Every structure is written in structure tokens, then in C-alpha cells.
Structure 1
Amino acid sequence: MRRITTVLLDVGGVLLLPSSEVMRAAIGHSGIDTTDEQLRRAHYAATAATDANGGPDRVEVYRRTFAKTCGVPAEFEDAVHDLLTDQFTGYTWQRVAPCAKEGLELLLAKGFRVGVVSNSVGTIEEMLATAEVCQVGGGPCAAVEVIIDSAVVGVRKPDPRIFHIALAEMGADAAETAYVGDTARADVDGARSAGLWPIHLDPYGDCPDPAGDHDHLDRFDRLCDLLTSRSGE
């Protein structure tokens, strides 16, 4: 493997998580009071379920798995699902993911070029700035080179073209670029098809793919260690 110089990052599950307030309110309809950690656990379990399903109903699978992982009883599942459908929108990703800011600071301090590539509805740049995670160029947060939002550029992961757009804007080489995301299908498959090194942020070991299919990371602030070890440094 060539030396990695550039890192592209997903947003959902890597830099931001669904708003605790929104998700807790929906789950609470069943009488369950959830902690932030339970909500975090539910996100990754639900994401893995959509990876395993691979069908067109992945959003449905995500919502129902999220509810089940939080312990929602079967008799409340439909009502909670409907609340999640109404309240879980493109603006819901408001909670800073664990180690997100620390991980970004480490990447930049080590000299890696950093960009963001995410499927969204045109809200990614605003949400990252509001959460004080990063912005393009100078500002109060970590400075990244590009923020590519699928709704803005008109192509979504796993289509390799969305990664190529980021690489072109940065003038970066796919062979020297890693992509970090929390899904096997959109992120790992998409990055691999674009010629990038895919890294699956999988804190709980939920990935449904065979062992050894791709690299995994349990904490975002350990990314630099993985990058340097695989680059032979």
C-alpha cells in the first residue's frame, strides 16, 4: 500500500450522531428512558442491520432496529417507528460523535489532508458548523479542504463518482486516500469501488461482512495509528 496522505470522512456515525433529544423523545413514547450510550449503541446496530439487509427498505430497517435495540416492546414498535419517520430528518444529526473533534485534530496535527464526503439533503456543511466540528478553510473549528454533500453534487454513495468529486477538488490521488465511514454498503463498498482504502468505523463489532473483508476501527481517535501502521511508517 502506498503512503496515505489524504483522509475523507463520512459524517453520520463518524463525526455526528442523531440528536439525543429527537431520538429519546420518539423512543420515550413507549415508556422507555434511554441514555446517550444506549442511543449510540442503537445507531450502530441499526446501521449494521441495514448493511445486512441490503434492500430498498433500508430506512425502514434502520428505524425498526433502532427501536428494538433500545428495548421498545413490540406493541409500541409501529408508533415509535412513525415518530421516528416524522422527526428523524436531514437536520437531526446534531450530536457530536465520541472522539470526533479529537480525531480530527490528530489527523490535522499529523499532516493529513482531510475532507468530508456524506450522503445528505444539503445540510451537512451547516450541521458540522453548528456542532462546531469543522468547516472548509479558516474558522473556529477544524479546517477541512472540502465538504461534499450528495444533495449538492447530485450523486450519492456508494456511487464512486461522489468520491472522485472530492478527490478532484482537492487534487488528491485515490491510491493515497483513505475513507472512513460507518456502513459496509455505502461507505466501504463505495470507497473501494472508487479506488480508496475503506475503513469501517464499527465501535461494537456489528459489521455483517466476513472477517478480513475490510479494515475496521473501534475509535475514531485511533485512526492515525491505523493509517501510519498500514503505510509502513
Structure 2
Amino acid sequence: MIDTVLFDIGGTLLTQQKNPERTVNHAKYIIFRLAELGIKIDTPPEEFAQMLHQRAEDYKHLGEKTCKEYPSVQVWNDFFLKDYNIGEDRLAPVAEELSFTYDYIRLDNRPREGLLEMSEKLTSMGMKLGIITNTISRSFAAHFLRENNVEKYYQDIVTSCEFGIRKPNPDIFYYAMNRIGAAKETTCYVGDTISRDVLGSRNAGLAMVIKINNPSVAHRDIDFQGPDAPQPDYIVNRLDEIPQIIVRFNRKVKT
């Protein structure tokens, strides 16, 4: 029987959309914030935004190969801002803030419909709820839950930047289950990608995997097509479909 449900954040509990205005505004904010620390960035905001995007993609591709996640100060010094030779000592006071804004300012984040209702329902069913997220920010996931009045339903948050390992490596799933007091035989994971969420859940041997549709990340799964690709147990379009799936699954197990 399922007694624990762990969730991805980006694309799963919230949708994330890019737009040029937010991207440039984020670049302007980074330039301004660094200037306050005496770090001058002469690159025009539009060009700086493009550079950040390319460096972030390079870092993401590296993470996909190695499943390693680095501390935020190292991410910014060695990857995102490597062209500027700033140094970790100077970036350390603001590194987490920069990582937070990378998700919070740069993207249009909106909670998926039914987030509160699903969280309440699963909790009323006796489920333990938690988060496993690939992220360079230690604080973004907690802020999102708090901002949307669902923080009290989620017992734990495991971020790749704190653990040092990214999905689909199973170790981050084992770590999260150990922290929340769950067994893989009774744990369900909900995410929006095959390459990270479904594959990672299968690697960890979880009892159930639910994939929520998110067309904006289809390019991340381009190498995971066909009959040999890992498959979720269920595919949903809405969060409020999840409680009933678990109810039916648990009833079947009982019989």
C-alpha cells in the first residue's frame, strides 16, 4: 500500500514559463546586485541574459551526464559567471540569492490548479508528503510551498544542491525516503519528466510512479522514447487526479 507521496516541484506542482521581458529583467537584477558588492558587469543586459542561458544549459548538460549538483557559490563562479573571474569569496554572500532569483524572477511560476485541494486530500488520507527537486537553490522550493499556503502539508524537502546528487540517481530518492521515514515498497513519486523523475523512481525501485503532463519539457525526454524507455504507472493532466489513483491502488492491494 502507498503511504508516502513525494513530488517534484518545477513542472509538477508549478508550471514555469519563460518570456523575454522576465529574462532581461532577471539579468538586470543580477548586474545590479553584483554592482552593490563592487562587482562590475559591463555586458549589456540582453547579451548577459543570453550568456547566462548558455552557461546554464552547459551546466545542466553536465549534471545530466554526472548526476552531480554543486553548491550555489560554485555554480555561479565556475559555470554561470565563469567568464568574469569573480571568485567564490566575493560571490559567497549572494550566491543563494542569485540561485533563488534564477527560478523566481527569471521564470513565470504558477501553481498548478488543485495544488491545495490535492495536498489537503492526500494528508487527510494519512499520506506523508515530501519534495525531491533538482535545483541550484536551497530556498526556492520552501518559498513556493509557503507562498501557496501548502507548506504545512509537506514534511520534508530534499534539494539536489544540498545533497550533491541529482535525479535520476537513486541515492537522492533513498536519502529522501530515509529522512521522511518511508519505504520504497510504499512510496509513490510524482514528476513531469521521464529522464529524471520516471527513470529515477524506477532506479530507486519505488512502488508507483505518476507522470504529470508538461509539454514544455518534452525536449528533455527526447532520448527516452519508444517501448524500451522507462514508463510511469499512471499519466495525469491535473493534480487532483492523484488522490483517487492512490485510493484505487491501495484498494487493489488490500484485495
TM normalised by structure 2 equals: 0.58
Would you say 1:90 and 2:94 are equivalent positions?
Answer: no
Question: How many aligned positions are there?
Answer: 171
The Cα shift of 1:123 comes to 2.9
Q: CA deviation at 1:181?
A: 0.2
Q: Secondary structure at the match of 2:165?
A: coil
Q: 1:4: how far off?
A: 0.6
One-letter code aligned to 2:231: D
Written as runs of structure 1 = structure 2, the 5 A alignment for 1:49-198 is 56=61, 89-92=102-105, 94-121=109-136, 122-135=138-151, 142-196=152-206, 197-198=208-209
- Residue 14 of structure 1 deviates from its aligned partner by 1.5
Q: 1:103 to 1:23 in 2, by over 3 A?
A: farther
Question: Is the 1:125–1:147 contact (alpha carbons within 8 Å) kept by the matching residues of 2?
Answer: yes
Offset at residue 56 of structure 1 (A): 3.2
- The match for 2:248 among 221, 226, 229 is 229
Q: Match for 2:120: what amino acid?
A: E
SS in 1 for 2:168: coil
Whole-angstrom CA distance in 2 between matches of 1:155 and 1:203: 24
Amino acid at match of 1:118: T
Task: Provide Cα deviations, 1:178-229, integer angstroms capped at 9, x if missing partner.
Answer: 000000110000011111122111166x686447932211211110111122
User: Aligned AA for 2:238?
Assistant: R
Q: Report what 1:213 is aligned to.
A: 231
Distance 1:127 1:166, change over 3 A: same
Q: Secondary structure at the match of 2:188?
A: strand
Q: What whole-Å deviation, never above 9, does each CA across 1:128-183 have from its counterpart, x for those lacking one? A: 24522432xxxxxx421111111111111111111111110111111100000000
- SS at 1:198 equivalent: strand
Match of 1:25 among 21, 36, 44: 21
Q: Could you say what the CA RMSD is over the residues aligned between the two structures, in angstroms?
A: 3.2
Question: Aligned pair in 2 of structure 1 residues 133, 159: CA closer, same or farther (>3 Å)?
Answer: farther
Equivalent in the alignment of 1:202: 213
User: Alpha carbons of 1:57 and 1:99: their partners in 2 closer, same or farther (altered >3 Å)?
Assistant: farther
In the alignment, the residues of structure 2 paired with residue 133 and residue 185 of structure 1 have an alpha-carbon distance, to the nearest angstrom, of 30
Question: SS of the counterpart of 1:90?
Answer: helix
Contact 2:194–2:231, Cα closer than 8 Å, also in 1: no
Distance in 1, Cα, partners of 2:161 & 2:214: 28
Gaps of 5+ in 1: 29-54, 60-87, 136-141
Q: Is the 8 A contact 1:91 1:127 kept in 2?
A: no
Shift of 1:126: 3.7
Find the counterpart in structure 2 of residue 68 from structure 1: none
Of the two, which has the highest radius of gyration?
Answer: 2
Normalising by structure 1, we get a TM-score of 0.63
Structure (1/2) with the larger helix percentage? 2
What is the CA–CA distance in structure 2 between the aligned matches of 1:152 and 1:223, rounded to whole Å? 28
The residue type paired with residue 219 of structure 1 is: R
The answer to whether the Cα contact below 8 Å between 1:203 and 1:219 also exists between their aligned partners in 2 is no
1:7 to 5, 8, 25: 5
